[in-house]
Structure 1
Amino acid sequence: MPEDTVPWDVFPPTPKLDLSKAHQQGLAKTARGIRLWYAVFGIPLERTLRAGRVPVLLMHGGVSSSDWNALQVEFLAPNYTVIVLDLPGHGRSPFDDRELSYEKLAADVAGVLDVLKVPKVAIISWSEGTMVAWSMLAYGHHHRVDRMFAYSVLDDYRKADAEKVMGIWMVGEYFARTQREWEESHPGEKWDDFLGSWMKMWLREPIWTADTFKHLPIRGQSKDAPIVWVVTGDHDEWIPPETHDRVAKFIPNSSYLKMPSAGHLTFIQNPAMYHRMIECFLEDSNVVATLKASL
C-alpha cells in the first residue's frame, strides 16, 4: 500500500453481516430455477409493506458478496427494511447458471422480489451491483424500481481499459481478497471457473446508450418514473472518468452526484459521508408533484 493515506487509497477490512440480526434468510428460487441467497434486516418486511413503504435493496460488487454492504445494513436497519442478496455464484449463492447475461441477472433479482412478494424497492448499489440495477431498468423490470442510487457503472465494455485498471494496486488486492473469501464460502469449487464465467460476460456486455433506456417513464412526467441518482467518486480510477458524464444523460431528469474525496470503494473507505449521501437520496421526493396534487 502507498505511504500516503488519502481516503480513496485506503483499503479497510471486509465488513461482515451479523446474521443473528436477520429476520429471515435463505435461498430464493426464481422462476427460471436460479437460487439466490438473501437476508432481510431492520424493520420487519411485512410491517413496511403494510405501511405502503419501500424496502431498501443493497447490491454488492463483482466477485464479492453481500458482506461488503454490512456497514450500510447497520446504518439503515433502524429506519428501513433492508434486503441483501448474493449474485449468482457469489457469497452464499450457488452457481446455477454459468452462461450469464445482464438480462438474466436482472430477471433473477426480480425473481427474488417475487419470492418475497415485494412490488418495488429502493436500490443502493455499487460496481457490478449497479450494472445489474441498470439492467433492471433496461430489460423490463423498471416497474420494480422506486429509486436507484447507482454508484459506479460501465455503460460499454469496449470503453473499459482493463490493462490500466489491473495496474491499480488496490484492484489487485481486491481480487486477491475476494478470491480468498470466495474459496472459503465455496469449498471444493474452482475460483477460475467462477471468475471465467463472469469474464465471458464482461467481454461482450454491456453496450448501453440513451436508446437503451428511452422506454422509461420520465420523472416529472409520470408518477411511475423511478428516481435515478447516477453516482461516482471524484477519485474512482476503476472506471473511466468520462463514463458517468455520459451515463447521466441517458435518463431525462435523473440526478448526478460526484462525491468528493471518494474512490471506487467509498462505502467502506468513508462510510460516514457515503451514509449521509444515501440518506439524502432516500429522502428525495417529487415535491412539486405532491404540491400540485394537494392544491
Structure 2
Amino acid sequence: MPQDTVPWDIFPPTPKLDLSEAEQQGLVKTKRGIRLWHAIFGIPLEKTLRAGRVPILLMHGGVSSSDWNALQVKYLAPNHTVIVLDLPGHGRSPFDDRELSYEKLASDVAGVLDVLKVPKVAIISWSEGTMLAWSMLAYDQHHRIDRAFCYSALDDYRKADAEKVMQIWMVGEYFARTRREWEETHPGQKWDDFLGAWMTMWTREPIWTAETFKHVPVRGESKDAPIVWIVTGDHDEWIPPETHDRMAKFIPNSSYLKMPSAGHLTFIQNPGIYHRMIDCFLEDANVVSTLKASL
C-alpha cells in the first residue's frame, strides 16, 4: 500500500467464495415461495447444533452477493459453522418477489433458517445485510437471533442524503462493479429492473425509532435477549455519522462500537481489524459475577 493511502480509501478486488470447500450449497424454498441460494462452510451444521452452539450467518450488502464475505468465511470456518446466503435477486438467488419490504425480507431470511432447521444464529452483517438484521429484530424474528454484529445501516431513509453519497467516488465504482458481477450471474436479465425494485423500497423504507424495537427483550433483563452490537467505521462516509448515535439508543443495553481506521467496506479494506472486532463480539457473553466483600 502506498504511504499516502489510508485503509478506508482503497477498493480491493471482490473476494470469491471457494465453493469447493462448502459443506452444502444450493437453493432453498421458503414457505412464502421465495428461493434463496445458500452455502454452509466450516464445522458441519449438524455437529454445531448437537453441541448446542449457534452457527454464524453472514449477510452481504445491497446489490452485491455473498462472495463479498469470502474473507470472513475463510477466517471463521475453521472454528465455526458459517452460513452465507444471497438476498432475493442477488448473486445466485433468483428474483421471485419484486414487491419488496423489509418485513417480507426478514421473513425470507427466517424462512431459510426454518428449512435448515436452525433455531438461532449469530448474525454478522454489513450495509443492506445489516438492514435485514435490524428488520428481523423489528418484525418479530428477534427470537431467531442469538447476537447481531450490525455494521453500518440506516434507521430512516428520509435522513439519508443519497445525492451526496452518490458523489463519493467509491460508491460509483461499487455500483459499476456490482452491476458487472450481477450481469455475469443473471445473463439475459435487466440490471435496471433489479436495481429499480430495490430502489423503490429504499425510497419508502425504513422509518424506525426506539418504539419500533420496544418488544425486543433487553439484555440483563431477559435470558432470551439478543446481544446487539451497533457498529460503524470512524471514516464511513456512506452513512451519516449521527445515524448510529441514534440507533445505539434503540435497544437498551446494546453495545456501540466505532471501529478505528474503518470505512464502509472495512471487511475487505482492513480485514485484520474487522476480524479482531468479530472475535470480541463472539466472545461477548452474559456473565453473572458474585463479588465477596472482605471485612
User: Above 0.5 in TM-score?
Assistant: yes
Alignment-mate amino acid for residue 150 of structure 1:
C
The alpha-carbon deviation at position 3 of structure 1 amounts to 9.8
1:178-220 Cα offsets, whole Å, 9 max, x none, are: 0000000000000000000000000000000000000011000
Counterpart-to-counterpart distance in 2, 1:62 and 1:74:
21
Q: Counterpart of 1:99? A: 99
- In the TM superposition, structure 1's runs of 4+ consecutive aligned residues that sit over 6 Å from their partners are none
1:221 counterpart = 2:221: yes
1:233 counterpart = 2:230: no
The alpha-carbon deviation at position 279 of structure 1 amounts to 0.6
The alpha-carbon deviation at position 117 of structure 1 amounts to 0.1
Give the 3-state SS of the residue equivalent to 1:20 in structure 2.
helix
1:22 counterpart = 2:22: yes
Alignment-mate amino acid for residue 198 of structure 1:
W
Alignment-mate amino acid for residue 117 of structure 2:
K
1:230-288 Cα offsets, whole Å, 9 max, x none, are: 00000000000100001000000000000011000000000010000001100100012
Q: Counterpart of 1:80? A: 80
Unaligned 5+ runs, structure 1: none
Q: Counterpart of 1:242? A: 242
TM-score by length of 1: 0.97
Alignment-mate amino acid for residue 17 of structure 1:
L
Give the 3-state SS of the residue equivalent to 2:285 in structure 1.
coil
Mapping for residues 132-171 of structure 1, pairs under 5 Å? 132-171=132-171
Counterpart-to-counterpart distance in 1, 2:163 and 2:199:
14
* RMSD (CA atoms): 1.1
1:42-70 Cα offsets, whole Å, 9 max, x none, are: 00000000000000000000000000000
Mapping for residues 1-295 of structure 1, pairs under 5 Å? 4-288=4-288, 291=289
Alignment-mate amino acid for residue 107 of structure 1:
S
1:113-167 Cα offsets, whole Å, 9 max, x none, are: 0000000000000000000010000000000000000000100000000011000
Q: Counterpart of 2:293? A: none
User: Once the two structures are aligned, what percentage of the paired residues are identical?
Assistant: 86
TM-score by length of 2: 0.97
Counterpart-to-counterpart distance in 2, 1:216 and 1:191:
37
Alignment-mate amino acid for residue 232 of structure 1:
T
Counterpart-to-counterpart distance in 2, 1:116 and 1:283:
25
The alpha-carbon deviation at position 5 of structure 1 amounts to 1.2
Alignment-mate amino acid for residue 278 of structure 1:
I
Give the 3-state SS of the residue equivalent to 1:287 in structure 2.
coil
Give the 3-state SS of the residue equivalent to 1:83 in structure 2.
strand
Give the 3-state SS of the residue equivalent to 2:188 in structure 1.
coil
The alpha-carbon deviation at position 226 of structure 1 amounts to 0.1
Unaligned 5+ runs, structure 2: 291-295
Counterpart-to-counterpart distance in 2, 1:262 and 1:132:
22
The alpha-carbon deviation at position 4 of structure 1 amounts to 4.1
Tell me the number of residue pairs that the alignment of Structure 1 and Structure 2 aligns: 289
